[in-house]
């Protein structure tokens, strides 16, 4: 039986491996799709243990983490991330530039889809 700590370490280790492979092959999309495959293979209990990681990623300063968390939330309709999505929208509202505005639009759309 795996523990929360085991699941968290596995998830983060997998992310590092996927990111390294994605950079080596110049394929950033492979990270998101690789995480999706791993997420799908998790038990329901393990998925619930990954939710706090994805919530943290939505609020991260790392755009790659935000993208990957948003991708999984979108593809698998992870309603447990609604509070983190709302917080991420609030955090991004004050950031200038078109990228932040685009990201906010995507998060608002995701929030509407999950609500």
The rounded distance, in Å, linking the Cα atoms of 108 and 90 is 10
How many domains does the chain fold into?
1
Domain enclosing residue 64, as ranges: 4-114
Specify burial of residue 64 (Cβ count, 10 A radius: 0-12, 13-18, 19+). Answer: middle
Specify burial of residue 47 (Cβ count, 10 A radius: 0-12, 13-18, 19+). Answer: middle
49-100 confidence digits (pLDDT tens):
999 999 999 999 888 999 999 999 999 999 999 999 999 999 988 787 788 8
**pLDDT computed for residue 57 by the predictor:** 95
């Amino acid at each position: 039986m795996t523990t929360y700590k085991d699941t968290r370490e596995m998830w983060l280790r997998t992310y590092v491996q996927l990111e390294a492979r994605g950079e080596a092959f110049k394929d950033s999309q492979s990270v998101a799709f690789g995480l999706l495959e791993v997420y799908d293979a998790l038990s329901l209990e393990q998925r619930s243990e990954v939710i706090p990681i994805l919530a943290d990623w939505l609020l991260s300063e790392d755009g790659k983490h935000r993208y990957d968390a948003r991708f999984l939330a979108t593809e698998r309709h992870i309603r447990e991330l609604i509070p983190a999505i709302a917080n991420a929208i609030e955090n991004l509202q004050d950031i200038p530039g078109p990228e932040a505005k685009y990201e906010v639009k995507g998060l608002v759309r995701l929030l509407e889809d999950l609500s």
